[in-house]
């Protein structure tokens, strides 16, 4: 009988402590960088996921390229690029078993009849990286595919709720003339007897240009996933007569895009 008061006291203490306990709400997604194993309940939208990052190595032939370089193309013409921009989109990671991993962010039109991954970016010639978005992935990855340009859905759909900096808003798009979307824009200073500047916009083609980086990459849980490409400014301007017509320059630039971006 002497144990009864002690037992009663113990039970009451446990009940009081249980009643005072505050449940912890935090990220319970194991793919997230802020995963909290001690949490009791999942949070609403607090998880932070790793980014897919594409490192860009800039070359001019066998030399490293810097933005102040004056170059000489295969026709012996001296020039300097003062601005260059491209659209990149449709990034897909592949695991060894064939599983495809896309970025997590989405955008939609006003009635939600069109919804796509929000991974389209404008890369500028001064940018060291391209960051398409966040991903739920870690471990061994086999390859990465992406597109240069925008497919018809992206270039023709009006999406709603976009932030003011989004690359698909009319005021931010790469332009070909005043209406059409360009695949790339180029500003180039050419040096001859007279120094002048030309502005070139290459129209978005019917189909995007596809690239595949076949390289095994291993990342730890919560780490960014990094791939790498090279861009060669001399290859972009190879056989481009910068004193010819705008149409001829655009045509040659389109032909050189596959050699400009090096994925091996």
Closest CA to 188 of 239, 148, 246, 122: 246
Specify whether the CB–CB gap between 31 and 136 falls below 8 A: yes
Please give the pLDDT value at position 1: 46
Beta strands 63-64 and 139-148: pairing type? unpaired
pTM: 0.86
246: left (phi over 0), alpha (psi -120 to 50) or beta: alpha
- Tell me which range, 12-26, 32-46, 124-138, is most confidently predicted by mean pLDDT: 124-138
Question: What's 205's DSSP letter?
Answer: P
Mean pLDDT of the region 143-149: 95
By the 10 Å C-beta count (0-12 exposed, 13-18 middle, 19+ buried), 220 is classed as exposed
Beta strands 51-60 and 63-64: pairing type? antiparallel
Please give the pLDDT value at position 6: 62
**With pLDDT > 70 as the criterion, what percentage of the chain qualifies?**
91
Asked if pLDDT for residue 207 goes beyond 90, the answer is no
């Amino acid at each position: 009988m002497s144990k009864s008061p002690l037992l009663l006291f113990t039970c009451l203490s446990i009940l009081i402590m249980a009643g005072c306990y505050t449940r912890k709400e935090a990220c319970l997604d194991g793919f997230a960088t802020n995963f909290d194993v001690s949490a009791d309940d999942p949070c609403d939208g607090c998880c932070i996921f790793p980014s897919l990052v594409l490192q860009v190595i800039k070359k001019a032939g066998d030399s490293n390229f810097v933005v102040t370089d004056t170059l000489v193309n295969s026709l012996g013409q001296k020039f300097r690029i003062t601005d260059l921009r491209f659209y990149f989109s449709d990034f897909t990671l592949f695991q060894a078993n064939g599983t495809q991993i896309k970025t997590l962010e989405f955008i939609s039109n006003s009635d939600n009849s069109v919804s796509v991954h929000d991974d389209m970016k404008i890369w500028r010639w001064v940018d060291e990286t391209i960051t398409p978005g966040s991903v739920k992935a870690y471990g061994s990855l086999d390859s990465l595919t992406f597109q240069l340009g925008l497919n018809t859905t992206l270039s023709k759909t009006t999406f709603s709720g976009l932030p003011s900096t989004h690359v698909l808003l009319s005021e931010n798009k790469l332009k070909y003339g005043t209406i059409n979307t360009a695949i790339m824009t180029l500003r180039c200073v050419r040096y001859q007897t007279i120094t002048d500047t030309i502005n070139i916009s290459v129209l978005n083609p019917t189909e995007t240009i596809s690239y595949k980086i076949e390289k095994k990459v291993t990342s730890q849980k919560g780490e960014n996933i990094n791939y790498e490409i090279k861009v060669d400014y001399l290859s972009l301007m190879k056989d481009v007569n910068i004193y010819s017509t705008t149409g001829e320059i655009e045509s040659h630039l389109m032909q050189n895009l596959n050699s400009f971006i090096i994925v091996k």
